[in-house]
Amino acid sequence: MYFEELGLNRNILKAIELKGYKTPSSIQQEAIPAVLTGQDVMAAAQTGTGKTASFTLPIIQYLEGKARVKANQVRVLILTPTRELAAQVHQSLEDYSQFSDTRSAVVFGGVKINPQMLKLRKGIDVLVATPGRLLDLCEKNAVKLDQIDVFVLDEADRMLDMGFINDIRRVIALLPKRRQNLLFSATFSDDIRNLAKGLIHDPVEISVSPKNSAAKTVDQLVIPIDKANKSQALITLIKRHQWYQVLVFCRTKHGANKLSQKLIKSGIKAAAIHGNKSQGARTRALSDFKSGDLQALIATDIAARGIDIDQLPQVVNFDLPHVAEDYVHRIGRTGRAGMAGKAVSLVTAEEYKELVGIERLIQQHIPREDIKGFEAQNALPASPQTLKPIKAKKPKKNKTKVDAFNQTSSTNMSASGKPDKNKKKANNSDGHGNKSRDKAKKSQANKDIWARGKPKQNKPKKSSNKQTGNKNAESKKGVGRSPRKRPVQN
């Protein structure tokens, strides 16, 4: 299939040709026609499948010929979890709308808000935003969302992982009821489907690849190693194989900084990007990495979301991620568009659990290979021969206090119907049985007192001052939970 067969106009086809693309990817073949017809879309696609263009291309075509929006108004809203991804989506809009009259803007935290407010003053066709900064702009009346025609939620799974669910709901509450909704996610988890219930209406559901699978073009390798030798082993790999462009994943911000400094001292041009870095520093590092001025870019999972490099040859997992799905996202940065890629993981014996979790998720054993001179003294155990698929956990049912009391009482009764002293002692020994029974008794006692019209009063046992009880009560009233804060924007 060719792009001409998808119903895109000449201006967009010309821009696609300049980018060097000839045939649409699987997600583009299915999503573009659905978006063009105005249907709601719920799509699952891995990183590097051409997902971004699958919604930016039809959006640009939809906007052609539309009247200019009024001051501070927006016609299309695209919500992304990170600054880097927002910048990537905006760049896609700029690339494909160069022969169209579409006006787009991108807003995110970490930079001054006033220039962003000025951009929105005359109104904009497409706004790409992160949740926190968008809500800040809404509170300042710098942008109005009541005239939105199309709402795109990109990387919805990462949105939920980062704790943006409340911000997403606040944004949705500001949107008009009649609109087209497009939801894109790496997977269709239960949480994503629950989110979609209140957002998507009779959607076209698209899934272009097996769930939680790694791209076939990526050559995966595990290198067993001791933790103390990880940094030097990475330096050896980069120099021995002459890796000119390698993306390295670390689990923590501190670890990324520390590794970056070690690589620089060894003569390798490197930089770290993470949430604590300023937006300017992150943008410069990413630009230098793409241009080849940086040989190694060390990133955390959240900061790397949105890094889009067409021909990235190597990805290294310096630390394995705690969440197995993140491994798939990480190695999805290489092996794109049919190009070959390599994903190397430096794994210690302490990371065995994470390794098995990853292999169970992708349903394959990852080959292992030692580096000469860096053989692990603390051996990495062999993976199980049979990799059982990870099953979804069933939701737990909440038990009421009465149920807990009845269950405790029944377990303390013998077959004759009389209390079983042995079971009672067993319950006392672990504390669970007594705790449930005491709570139930207190609850029932309180109900009886209130039924007689005599509220229960807690009196201090010994006090020479009659007001001591009141003071204690007043001090307790001031104790409570702190208000929930908005997630920090990375």
pLDDT digits (tens, 9 = 90+) for 59-112: 999 999 898 899 999 999 999 998 888 999 999 999 999 999 999 999 999 899
Last residue of a domain, one of 207, 240, 255: 207
In a domain, 318, yes or no: yes
Say if 388 falls within a structural domain: no
Indicate if 74 and 200 belong to the same structural domain: yes
* pTM of the predicted model over 0.75: no
Is 212 contained in some domain? Answer: no
| Residue-level pLDDT at 45 | 80
Do 157 and 14 fall into the same domain?
yes
Are both 190 and 296 inside the same structural domain?
A: no
Q: What is the dihedral of CA 239, 242, 243, 248, to 10 degrees?
A: -10
Q: Evaluate whether residue 432 is within a structural domain.
A: yes
CATH value at residue 18: 3.40.50.300
Residues 6+ apart with CB under 8 A from 436: 401, 404, 405, 407, 408
Please tell me the total number of residues recorded for the chain in this structure.
490
pLDDT tens for 346-357 read 999 999 999 999
Instruction: List Cβ neighbours of 77 (8 Å cut-off, separation of 6 or more).
Output: 126, 127, 129, 134, 145, 148, 150, 151, 152, 171, 175
Residue-level pLDDT at 212:
58
In a domain, 161, yes or no: yes
**Same domain (yes/no): 323, 346:** yes
Based on the structure, what is the number of domains in the chain?
3
| 353 and 419 together in one domain | no
CB 340 within 8 A of CB 219: yes
Contact of 286 with 84, CB cutoff 8 Å = yes
Final residue before a domain boundary, out of 362, 384, 414: 362
Strand arrangement of the beta sheet that strand 180-185 belongs to: 104-107, 124-129, 74-79, 150-153, 180-185, 41-44, 204-207
Is the distance from CB of 264 to CB of 294 less than 8 angstroms?
no
Pair 97, 33 in one domain: yes
For residue 428, give its domain range.
396-457
Residue numbers in the chain where pLDDT is lower than 50: 392-419, 421-437, 447, 449-452, 454-456, 463-490
> In this structure, are 31 and 111 located in the same domain?
yes
Amino acid at residue number 101: D
Question: Could you tell me if 444 and 409 are in contact, meaning their C-beta atoms sit under 8 angstroms apart?
Answer: no
Are 104 and 84 spatial neighbours (Cβ–Cβ below 8 Å)?
no
Q: How far apart are CA 153 and CA 159, in angstroms?
A: 9
Residues 181, 330, single domain; the answer is no
For residue 471, the model assigns a pLDDT of 44
Query: Residue 109 and residue 357: Cα distance in Å, rounded?
Result: 34
Residue 306's pLDDT is 61
Residue 473 located in a structural domain: no
Q: Does 464 reside within a domain?
A: no
Q: Which residue bears the tokens 């029944």?
A: 410
Lookup result for tokens 């692990």: 376
Say yes or no: 169 and 224 in one domain: no
Supply the pLDDT for residue 216.
74
pLDDT in the model for residue 468: 46
Both 197 and 228 in one domain: the answer is no
Domain boundary among 169, 188, 207: 207
Q: What is the Cα–Cα distance from 258 to 240, expressed in whole angstroms?
A: 22
Same structural domain, 193 and 234: no
In a domain, 375, yes or no: no
Residues 35 and 178 in one domain: yes
Q: What confidence score (pLDDT) does residue 448 get? A: 52
- Angle formed by the axes of helices 324-331 and 352-362, to 10°? 70
Per-residue pLDDT of 326-384, as tens digits, reads: 888 888 888 776 678 899 999 999 999 999 999 998 889 999 999 999 999 999 999 99
CA distance 85 to 59: 18
